[in-house]
Structure 1
Amino acid sequence: MSYVFEVPKEYGYVLAVAASTVFINTTHKNLTSIMRRASGVPYPQSYATKEEIERNPKALRFNLAQRSHANFTENYTSFVTALLIAGLRYPNQATWAGSAWVAGRFAYALGYTYFGPPGRTAGYTVSLIGKAALTIMAVLTCWNFA
């Protein structure tokens, strides 16, 4: 059996959400670079040591920015996969859920970098809701292909 693969007209919005994630990654890169420069943690060192943090509180902020970026990359692949699959059947809903994830990730990056672990909660919650919705829609899309 074969299928004719037709992409919904609204799928362009889904692609726009996917493309917008370039700006999140750039935000992470900029935050990490700014905090690295301020902390004096040299390349290629990925994180400041406990001793460096005790001597220089800005080193902790560098670690927070670095960890926030790592968390983004840990979640990005599953997000974009769910977004692109869900958008095939639910383009409008996927656009909104994906936009929530994007907004939540910006809030997460800024909140975690500047306010530490408690600062990430609001952004995490918003992004989690968006990603959960996308995951459900992606599963339903796959189910309907079977």
Structure 2
Amino acid sequence: MAVELPADFGFVLIVLVLTFLLNLYLSFAVMAARKKYNVHYPNLYAVESENKEAKMFNCVQRGHQNFLEFLPFYLTFLILGGLKHPKLAAVSGVGYLIGRFFYFKGYSTGVPDNRMKRGGIYYPFFFSLVGYTISLAVSLLAAR
């Protein structure tokens, strides 16, 4: 079975590159936090009994870790949903990334509740990608 990509799928590919760039930014932010808060590899998190700024580092680390935990689902729904609705998926993908950026920035303040103040906007964009993927599934099943 051959898969034919819609001409507008290029927009989805641009969002994939933006996703890579955001992940790179978050990775560099964690590396900078490691240096700033004196958290050495291979430790994933700082221990509060050993580091008075452990919470600050751990919040930065968790902001990036949460991004990575959702990444496989986001990428799957972006790509599959983009096969049927490339422009809508691309717009939703950018909205998701903006929300994830603010989620990370809020989390990085050291107050975990700040992550949802502006970062929570990623949820509707994520679920719209789920919807576009369901739309693709329905259209494929209807074409049988």
Name the TM-score, length of structure 1 as normaliser.
Answer: 0.89
Indicate the percent of aligned positions where both proteins have the same amino acid: 28
Give per-residue Cα distances to partners, 1:77-109, cap 9 Å, x unaligned.
Answer: 000100001111111111111110011111111
> Which has more helix, going by share of residues?
1
* Cα pair 2:106 2:119 within 8 Å, conserved: no
Partner of 1:119: 114
Q: CA deviation at 1:140?
A: 1.1
Code of the residue aligned with 1:46 in structure 2: it is L
Q: CA deviation at 1:51?
A: 0.8
Unaligned runs of 5+ in 2: none
Moved over 4 A (4+): none
CA RMSD of aligned residues (A): 1.5
Q: CA deviation at 1:123?
A: 4.3
Residues of 1 paired with 2:110 and 2:13: CA distance?
32
Q: CA deviation at 1:36?
A: 0.9
Name the TM-score, length of structure 2 as normaliser.
Answer: 0.90
Code of the residue aligned with 2:139 in structure 1: it is N
Give per-residue Cα distances to partners, 1:107-134, cap 9 Å, x unaligned.
Answer: 1111111252122114442111110000
State the number of aligned residues: 141
Partner of 1:35: 33
Unaligned runs of 5+ in 1: none
SS at match of 2:3: coil
Q: Pick from 72, 75, 82 the counterpart of residue 70 of structure 2.
A: 75
Q: CA deviation at 1:5?
A: 3.2
